[in-house]
Amino acid sequence: MAEKKNFAAVLREKGDLRLEETDIPSPSQNEVMIAMDSVGICGSDVHYWTHGEIGDFIVKAPMILGHESSGIVTALGEGVKNLKIGDRVAIEPGVPCRMCEFCKGGRYNLCPDIVFCATPPVHGSLATYYCHAADFCYKLPDHVTLEEGALLEPLSVGVHACRRAGVTLGSKVLVCGAGPIGLVNLLTAKAMGAAEVAMTDIDQGRLNVAKKLGADYPILADTRDGKEMAKKIESALGAMPDITIECSGAPSSVQTGIYSTKSGGVLVLVGLGPAEVSLPIVNAAVREVDIRGIFRYANCYPIALAMIASGKVDVKPLVTHRFPMAKTIDAFETAKTGADGAIKVVIKVKE
Ligand code: NAD
Ligand code: ZN
């Protein structure tokens, strides 16, 4: 048998991403070792590569990137009972402390001690072999592909946002921004029974994709005037949306989100733009528009998996580009520039 080797996509510092040979990890107690299969590139991976930081998280030491991932269990640490060798699993990248009030209350995404893949100083999963807490790995049914497993990560963001928004049968929803995150919100809102979904973007190409994926009203954001955009959205939907899910982070789009949302409705902030933004806050206050944040997800992987396994949601069209691991830098370039209509770029670790 050929000797096993481990390669990983290591961000040494801002701008310096390399494929390097590293030690093969071994699973600790309650962990499994996974032979990685598919790893999607997220905007945050690209941002750490190009900027070396996001907010307070700064890359100070070499860090392996990647957190949208799946693979096959190859070894079990002591105490693992829920999985066996050969299981195909999706990996939920954030492992919380399980002890604090947030963990105990079920909102473990708010755990101050959460360890999240590829958020400095924690290594990510873009490697040949990777070890992870077994209870944060989800066994995939045979008919769900490992690539779909990797896409449970962004889909879980959509599930969490739509649940926080209260999307339900008959909802009229506006999703701002048609990147991967806006698109998973579109798919989830539809699966949760939204009657109509309007979607905005500044890029007509992305709106065309949104339309193919089921957006009823793709609307070009051709002005930064939030009130003007709100009028366009109302006339397309025939009413103001009950719910707006902002997935661009652009300040003008958050402003549009407030002006657009029906009185008594909900605006969910998914997009993370500048730390401080000027907002028509009195408009939101006097019309009782609830503004809710979301941070990643909690308890959403099983739901996202059930949605895919049952065929309620099809995430496959989101994947526009696939690269072998040896072409990791090209994959990151494609994700960065969005060249050639790139939406979700996936690295195939196991060719
Ligand atoms: P993306 O950059 O691929 O997509 C953003 C889209 O918004 C682009 O298509 C862009 O053209 C569009 N856009 C820009 N300005 C706009 C405007 N004024 N009006 C309408 N659309 C506009 O990014 P993504 O991967 O889809 O992620 C979207 C956002 O969600 C990012 O800000 C990301 O940081 C954030 N995010 C947040 C969480 C969370 O837990 N809160 C999780 C994942 C991603
Ligand atoms: Zn905790």
pLDDT for 4 equals 86
State the pLDDT at residue 194: 98
Q: What is the pLDDT of residue 338?
A: 92
If 0-12 CB within 10 Å is exposed, 13-18 middle and 19+ buried, where does residue 332 land? buried
Task: Return the CATH number of the domain spanning residue range 6-151+315-348.
Answer: 3.90.180.10
SS3 content of the chain, % helix, strand, coil (to 5): 35, 25, 40
Which residues of the chain, if any, have pLDDT below 50?
Answer: none
> For residue 248, how far is its CA from the centre of ligand 1 (angstroms)?
3
Strand-pairing partners, residue 269, are 246, 293
* Contact by Cβ (8 Å): 97, 114: yes
Mean pLDDT over each residue of the chain, to the nearest integer: 97
Residue 2 pLDDT: 62
Give the distance (Å) from ligand 2 centre to CA of residue 107.
Answer: 9
Please enumerate in sequence order all residues whose Cβ is within 8 A of that of 181, keeping only pairs 6 or more positions apart, or say none.
43, 154, 157, 158, 247, 270, 271
Q: Which residues keep their CB under 5 angstroms from ion ligand 2?
A: 96-97, 100, 103, 111
Cβ of 176 less than 6 Å from ligand 1: yes
Query: 158-293 — its CATH code?
Result: 3.40.50.720
CATH 3.40.50.720 placement within the chain:
158-293
Tell me, what's the pLDDT at 50?
97
For atom 35 of ligand 1, the residue with the nearest CA is 271
Give the mutation target among 151, 248, 291, 297 for probing the ligand 1 site: most ligand atoms within 8 A of CB. Answer: 248
Residues of each domain in the chain carrying CATH 3.90.180.10: 6-151+315-348
